[in-house]
Amino acid sequence: MRTGFAGKKVLVGVTGSIAAFKVAGWVSTLAKAEAQVSVVMTESACRFVTPLTFAALSGNQVHRELFDPGGEERMDHIALGRDADLVLIAPATAATIARLANGLADDLLSTAVLAARVPIIICPAMNSRMYLHPATQENIGRLKKFGYQVLTPGEGMMACREEGTGRLPEWEEVSEYLLRALTPQDLLGERVVVTAGPTREALDPARFLSNRSSGKMGYALARTAFRRGAQVQLVSGPVSLPVPPGIDCKFVTTAREMREATLGRSDWATIIVKSAAVSDFRPAFEQAEKVKKETAPRSVELAENPDILAELGKSKKKGQLLVGFAAESANLEGEGRRKLEKKNLDLIAVNSITSETTGFAADTNQILLLDRHGAEQLPLADKEQVADMIWDRAAVMIKSRSEEPGKQEIQACRQ
């Protein structure tokens, strides 16, 4: 399943804040991603950025007037909201938030929003005193009750030279919420735990044993599960990737810390995906002081780490879906099937670590997906697409299980 902005009709409402200039960049990005972008500007928005800017960047004429004779031939005040796949209001001022919270229809944007029956995403941007005022907070509460998605503004220095909460959220976050709103919600109601990245096992304060995992596959799985409607908790080893928006992330270092964090979340989870590359061994003794060359032992005694996935397999709840990973250099299907059985998994994603396009740090991956009934070779694709293919399979498995006898127990796991 491919998700994205291509071909989607996005209505962008721009209101009167200095942050409007940032949204010009967002409109450009959406248009380049082949979304069909229509822009409505309020009168005060036009004082900050000219309509010509948004027209040039979106490739479409900007809508401004409720009683524009040309626009009203097309019934713009209804059609703009009705025909969109998604409405984004950014920046949203306190005045616009108040107007929408009270259902006013006194300008083109507020009227179009009242007529819309599609996801509405609001990005407030204002001085923090205005944002934190009970009136604004109450209005935001009302918008949430209507089912609108109101993002939390960022913190930092604002245009008024005051520090606080009120900055326009960043595009990286906003775009995830837009994609979520445009993606079929086949994981809605699922509670997903994803583990990602390597673990590190200290030899001394300066050195550790670890592996080449970048965390990219696990982070892609977390991000795509969120887009498909799941609540996601990520347990991550040390990686240099930003935490995906909307996802709760617990950072760990060692295998034993990862075990504690993952088992601690397993009762909550309806799906657990163990894409982390856990160190099988750790140094039997961690030296408190840095080991010196002259006195360093020439070999290191190792202790075995717990196999987290095997433990999860033993304590698996009825209806819970357990997905493992295996990075192999030979006999992919045989090794995958052995681990599937041994660790009591429902699905295992096996990939070869010998190719440059499927290795640890690569942006692409090629997976052999095994379950109890068979094997499917997925095509080489970027890790986000591969993650979506894994979720496609997981979603089918959950759906078919809920149609099997004993489905009450399976549903009970999802309460």
Residues known to be catalytic: 160
Q: At its nearest, how many Å lie between ligand CTP and the CB of residue 258?
A: 8
State which residue, 17 or 275, has the beta carbon closest to ligand CTP: 275
State which residue, 143 or 255, has the beta carbon closest to ligand CTP: 255
Q: Report the relative pairing of strands 9-14 and 36-41 from DSSP bridges.
A: parallel
State which residue, 260 or 307, has the beta carbon closest to ligand CTP: 307
Q: Which one of the spans 87-95, 109-117, 286-294, 322-330 is the region binding ligand CTP (CB under 6 A)?
A: 322-330
Query: Phi, psi (5° rounding) for residue 200?
Result: -125, 135
Q: At its nearest, how many Å lie between ligand CTP and the CB of residue 305?
A: 5
Token couple for 212: 């080449």
Query: First and final CA of the chain: distance in angstroms?
Result: 27
User: Please, what is the angle between helix 216-227 and helix 171-182, to 10°?
Assistant: 60
Q: Which of 232, 276, 321, 394 binds ligand CTP (CB under 6 A)?
A: 276
Rounded to the nearest angstrom, the gap between the alpha carbon of residue 83 and the centroid of all alpha carbons in its chain is 26
Per-residue DSSP letters for 81-128?
A: HHT-SEEEEEEEPHHHHHHHHTT--SSHHHHHHHH--S-EEEEE-S-H
Q: Which of 278, 332, 369, 389 binds ligand CTP (CB under 6 A)?
A: 278
Q: Is 368 in the site for ligand CTP (CB under 6 A)?
A: no
By 3-state DSSP, what share of the chain in percent is helix, strand and coil, each rounded to 5? 35, 25, 40
Q: Is 282 in the site for ligand CTP (CB under 6 A)?
A: no
Q: At its nearest, how many Å lie between ligand CTP and the CB of residue 195?
A: 6
Looking at residues 296 to 315 of the shown chain, list those that interact with ligand CTP (rule: CB under 6 A): 305, 307-309
Q: Which amino acid is at 146?
A: F
Q: Which of 173, 257, 260, 280 binds ligand CTP (CB under 6 A)?
A: 280
Looking at residues 323 to 342 of the shown chain, list those that interact with ligand CTP (rule: CB under 6 A): 324-327, 339
Three-class SS state of 232: strand
Report how many residues bind ligand CTP under the rule CB under 6 A: 14
Task: List all residues 6 or more positions away from 326 whose beta carbon is below 8 Å from its beta carbon.
Answer: 332, 335, 336, 339, 348, 349, 350, 351
Looking at residues 243 to 272 of the shown chain, list those that interact with ligand CTP (rule: CB under 6 A): 255
Q: At its nearest, how many Å lie between ligand CTP and the CB of residue 215?
A: 12
Q: At its nearest, how many Å lie between ligand CTP and the CB of residue 249?
A: 17
Tell me which H or E stretch contains 163. strand 163-167
DSSP 20: H
State which residue, 49 or 309, has the beta carbon closest to ligand CTP: 309
Asked if 277 and 360 touch (Cβ cutoff 8 Å), the reply is yes
State which residue, 198 or 319, has the beta carbon closest to ligand CTP: 198
The Cα–Cα gap between 161 and 126 comes to: 12
State which residue, 152 or 331, has the beta carbon closest to ligand CTP: 331
Beta bridge partners, 41, equal 14
Task: Give the binding site for ligand CTP (CB under 6 A).
Answer: 255, 274, 276, 278, 280, 305, 307-309, 324-327, 339
